[in-house]
Homo-oligomer: A and B are copies of this chain.
Amino acid sequence: MSDSPRSENMLFLTDEQLRKGIEAMFFAYRGFTADPDRILKKYGYGRAHHRAIHFVSRAPGTTVNNLLSILGVTKQSLNRVLRSLIADGLIESRVGTRDKRERHLYLTETGKSLEAELSDSQRERMRDAYRKVGPTAVSGFREVLEAMMDEDLRRHFAPAKDKK
Contact = CB atoms under 8 A, between A and B. Distances in A.
Contact of A31 (B31, B125, B140, B153): B153
B28 A148 contact: yes
A129 B21 CA distance: 11
Q: How many copies does the complex hold?
A: 2
A4 interface: no
Given A19-B123, A22-B119, A141-B143, 12 more contacts: A13-B130, A18-B123, A18-B127, A20-B142, A23-B157, A24-B145, A24-B146, A25-B28, A30-B72, A30-B150, A132-B147, A136-B136
Contact size range, A: 35 or more
Contacts of A144: 28, 129-130, 133, 137-138, 140-141
